[in-house]
Amino acid sequence: MNRYSRFSAAAALLVSLAGCGLFEDQIPEDIFFRMSGPTGSQVTVIYSKQFVAGVNEIGQTRLEVFGADTVVHTLPIDTVIDVRLEQRLFLRASPLAASDTLAVDARVDVDGRNIYSDQGDLFPLVPWQFFYQYNVTFTQDVEVII
């Protein structure tokens, strides 16, 4: 095989690898959060990119929030959060009125890829929670400290 043939083969390999997305930057940029339910209902949402999380020896995920923003939204919610720097996000939602139980649909996308979609009841004393951290897997058994 001559020098030109080896160069051509290497160039073809690089082009095919680039086409399959191997060299694409997979670090998340934006998280899209949507929640719908009874129109006009109010929900309190805690947003945080300032937390530490880990799994202990008994398999329980512990998440400790040390900085957060609390926002009162009127349903539906459709927002985008920039996570380029922190590469993580914690969300906690509960009805504003302590007596309300709301049927909601929640969806979370990272850079246009759906990673969570579910529907259910939002209870005042049992908030809906979601957290994401790039390249980290957690258990379903979660303890959150705010």
Look at residue 89 and tell me if it is in a domain.
yes
Which CATH number belongs to the domain containing residue 42 in this structure?
2.60.60
135: left (phi over 0), alpha (psi -120 to 50) or beta: left
**Rounded Cα–Cα distance for residues 138 and 59 (Å):** 9
**Domain housing 125:** 27-145
Return per-residue pLDDT of the chain as tens, 146 residues: 554 444 444 445 445 555 555 556 678 899 999 999 999 999 999 999 998 888 888 888 888 899 999 999 999 999 999 999 999 999 999 999 888 899 999 999 999 999 999 999 999 888 899 988 887 766 566 677 77
Cα–Cα distance, 39 to 36 (Å, whole number): 8
Domain count of the chain?
1
| Max Cα-Cα span within the chain | 79
pTM for the structure as a whole:
0.77
Phi, psi of 47 (to 5 degrees): -115, 130
Let me know if residue 5 belongs to a domain: no
